[in-house]
Structure 1
Amino acid sequence: MPIKIPNNLPAVNILEKENIFAMDEKRAYAQDIRPLRILLLNLMPTKIVTETQMLRLLGNSPLQVEFDFMYTATYEPKNTPHEHLVKFYETFDEVKSRKYDGMIITGAPVEQIPFTEVDYWDELCEIMDWSQRNVYSTLHICWGAQAALYHHYGIPKYDLPKKMFGVFPHTVNIKEKMLFRGFDDIFYIPHSRHTEVRRADIEKVARLCILSESEEAGIFAITDKKHRGLFITGHPEYDPLTLKTEYDRDIGLGLPINIPANYYPNDDPQQLPVVRWRSAANLLFSNWLNYYVYQGTPFDLEKLTDLDEVCGLCGDGI
């Protein structure tokens, strides 16, 4: 089944050229099926790029999915046309009466700012609390994962001596977990961050489980024991040239930045990057959608209850 996305969203043309099947609203309404409802809280400055990345990965699933897009009302994005936000995005006040099968909270370029000093921190905390009662499974990415771990469990983030920047090998700690079903023993994921969370802090929280990590990049994937909160510290959604764009930007600004690791052939920025993470990214998002959303979410979303009260079909062995 395809993803169902709003008519005229810029991502539609891009995905069609990549042969990813996207269904417009008119055709979707003609199908007798309840699609999964996914809410994307897009905290990235270039929202059109990020929404396309997410739709690309979730469009590679046999499940029909429909999206709502949300941004924070307490911070006005500066890198996305206002007309795009008005046409395709909603604020929390506009969506908080609904319930969703799944939600994605993206990263944001604010990781070097203390959590409580981020302009939209109070609003984000309200959204994260709301998600525990109104969303079956929430996938948090990069800073979004750090923010949720801090808000829900008090886990701090730590500054790194230099930016974690590149494409790093990872291993799976608990191979029977469904999130990594079908993964190779070693798989690659991009990282681009100045801060980290640490194993010692996570292991103090009995409700959390570390699923995957990297010898170089540290902790990668964490889940709560009821599988309704997933926390990913890297950027599996990145396009082939995203790290290049970040590297070129920082070089142009005269900022200290290393060549992204395991990215350019022979570490030569004049060559085209090698994509090592595409299959892992597609599999990760597909597994989340299937095993952590579809297999557990109630058919009647009004039956969703608090995160602490429900453990879906995904038991401890998944």
Structure 2
Amino acid sequence: MTVLLEKRRLIVSPGLVPAQQRREDKLGHPKNVDADLTIGLINNMPDSALKATERQFMRLLRQAAGDVRIDFHCFSLASVSRSQSAKGRIDGQYTDIAELDRLPIDGLIITGAEPHTANLNDEAYWRDLTDIIDWAKENTHSTIWSCLAAHAAVLYLDGIERKPLETKCSGVYDCASVSPHWLTDGLPSPFKVAHSRLNELRADELTANGYQLLSQLPRGGVNSFAKDFGSQFIFFQGHPEYEALSLEREYLRDIARFLAGERDRYPGIPVGYFDTGTELRLTAFALRAQNERRPALIAELPERTLREDIAMGAAATVMFRNWIGFLSARARAVSPEANL
């Protein structure tokens, strides 16, 4: 897979131009002669997960691409708050998001940003994100919305509000396909996907607004869904891109925040993730942590072993292979050569 990370220049806003002009400009841009597809990742994840998110999606695309050559660009919204070190990485290695109109983007992947307000539409990045949503409808063949980005997108597109969960949905869950769709072709049923979220979108509200449910968790929670906006929008409430240790890092971070007094509740053990012995040790440690709450206790966490059957990334490779196939078919259908 061809990978290109261009230098990104700091900008104040996406600087998106009207849809009609964008459409005309895009048709005028020649394809990269060395690539079959151009795919962008708008990486809005917190600083601590910035590099990991790049790595996870590049790994997925490499595994899924086969013989397809991909010109890959990372972007980030300038309105997402960043540390100086993260800004340095973005300035040095990311493409300026204003370049979206120059590049012949076939597909986008958009991740969520850590929320700082109770309502997503009060976030500092909200206007920039909604500009991207409108842009993606007109200028991509398909866009993937990951976790919090999925919640933000359906709020803007159809006014669907996410609902808080009683306890965090965290773990590796068996998901079952619920309707035929090109994205899930070839997946076993059930298949495993990682989830890590405090809120959910309800199935009945999604279907009432024309979304197609693609897969669900055992107790009915939505895993993935889709809707055609001219561009095929694909939404994941979970994290199919997560690597084996991603949930462990989040769990340890939440424990550290509890011990430091930055969160009120001790985090639950991720479901279906650690082996039985580890779960017993972590349960005993949780009782101790709640009685001896102090930051230094994090150093005494017990040894941890993951279950052997979590199969991280297996389902994601199939879905991203299907996504790349869809993008390739759409790109061929609209290319000038296809009409000769």
Counterpart-to-counterpart distance in 1, 2:136 and 2:128: 12
How much does 1:84 deviate? 1.5
Please say if residues 140 and 231 of structure 1, whose CA atoms lie closer than 8 Å, have aligned partners that are also in contact: yes
Instruction: Indicate yes or no: 2:49 matched with 1:36.
Output: no
1:245-264 CA deviation, whole Å, 9 max, x = no partner?
11111111214210000000
2:223 to 220, 224, 246: 220
Q: Which has the larger radius of gyration?
A: 2
Instruction: Indicate yes or no: 2:281 matched with 1:271.
Output: no
1:40 partner amino acid: L
1:296 partner amino acid: R
Please say if residues 111 and 195 of structure 1, whose CA atoms lie closer than 8 Å, have aligned partners that are also in contact: no
Aligned to 2:80: 75
Distance change in 2, residues 1:155/1:80 (3 Å): farther
Please say if residues 187 and 277 of structure 1, whose CA atoms lie closer than 8 Å, have aligned partners that are also in contact: no
Distance change in 2, residues 1:155/1:111 (3 Å): farther
Counterpart-to-counterpart distance in 2, 1:111 and 1:141: 18
Please say if residues 107 and 140 of structure 2, whose CA atoms lie closer than 8 Å, have aligned partners that are also in contact: yes
How much does 1:294 deviate? 1.2
2:56 to 31, 39, 53: 53
1:161-180 CA deviation, whole Å, 9 max, x = no partner?
111011111000124x2211
1:97-150 CA deviation, whole Å, 9 max, x = no partner?
433100000133228731111110011001110111111110111011111111
Aligned to 1:257: 267
Instruction: Indicate yes or no: 2:247 matched with 1:248.
Output: no
Point out the structure with the larger helix share.
Answer: 2
Aligned to 1:294: 328
1:6 partner amino acid: L
Aligned to 2:239: 235
1:5 partner amino acid: L
Counterpart-to-counterpart distance in 1, 2:59 and 2:249: 19
Please say if residues 111 and 194 of structure 1, whose CA atoms lie closer than 8 Å, have aligned partners that are also in contact: no
1:51 partner amino acid: E
How much does 1:80 deviate? 4.8
Counterpart-to-counterpart distance in 2, 1:111 and 1:155: 19
1:140 partner amino acid: W
Aligned to 1:120: 125
Which runs of at least 4 in structure 1 moved beyond 6 Å after TM superposition? none
Q: What stretches of structure 1 of length at least 5 have no aligned partner? A: 9-30, 303-318
Aligned to 2:21: none
Once the two structures are overlaid, the 10-residue window that deviates more, 270-279 or 160-169, is 270-279
Distance change in 2, residues 1:7/1:108 (3 Å): closer
Once the two structures are overlaid, the 10-residue window that deviates more, 63-72 or 93-102, is 93-102
1:59 partner amino acid: R
2:71 partner amino acid: E
Once the two structures are overlaid, the 10-residue window that deviates more, 138-147 or 95-104, is 95-104
Point out the structure with the larger strand share.
Answer: 1
2:95 partner amino acid: E
Instruction: Indicate yes or no: 2:192 matched with 1:188.
Output: yes
1:53 partner amino acid: Q
1:39-76 CA deviation, whole Å, 9 max, x = no partner?
11001012111000000000012111111111111234
Please say if residues 98 and 134 of structure 1, whose CA atoms lie closer than 8 Å, have aligned partners that are also in contact: no
1:82 partner amino acid: K
Please say if residues 73 and 91 of structure 1, whose CA atoms lie closer than 8 Å, have aligned partners that are also in contact: no
Counterpart-to-counterpart distance in 2, 1:79 and 1:184: 44
Please say if residues 47 and 80 of structure 1, whose CA atoms lie closer than 8 Å, have aligned partners that are also in contact: no
Counterpart-to-counterpart distance in 2, 1:217 and 1:79: 42
Counterpart-to-counterpart distance in 2, 1:273 and 1:239: 12
Aligned to 1:5: 4
Distance change in 2, residues 1:294/1:78 (3 Å): same
1:171 to 173, 176, 200: 176
Counterpart-to-counterpart distance in 1, 2:118 and 2:220: 21
Give the SS at the match of 2:186.
coil
Instruction: Indicate yes or no: 2:320 matched with 1:285.
Output: yes
Distance change in 2, residues 1:264/1:203 (3 Å): same
TM-score norm. by structure 2 comes to 0.75
Give the SS at the match of 1:290.
helix
Counterpart-to-counterpart distance in 2, 1:167 and 1:259: 11
Please say if residues 107 and 142 of structure 1, whose CA atoms lie closer than 8 Å, have aligned partners that are also in contact: yes
Q: What stretches of structure 2 of length at least 5 have no aligned partner? A: 8-31, 283-302
1:209 to 209, 212, 226: 212
Counterpart-to-counterpart distance in 2, 1:111 and 1:249: 18
Please say if residues 38 and 67 of structure 1, whose CA atoms lie closer than 8 Å, have aligned partners that are also in contact: yes
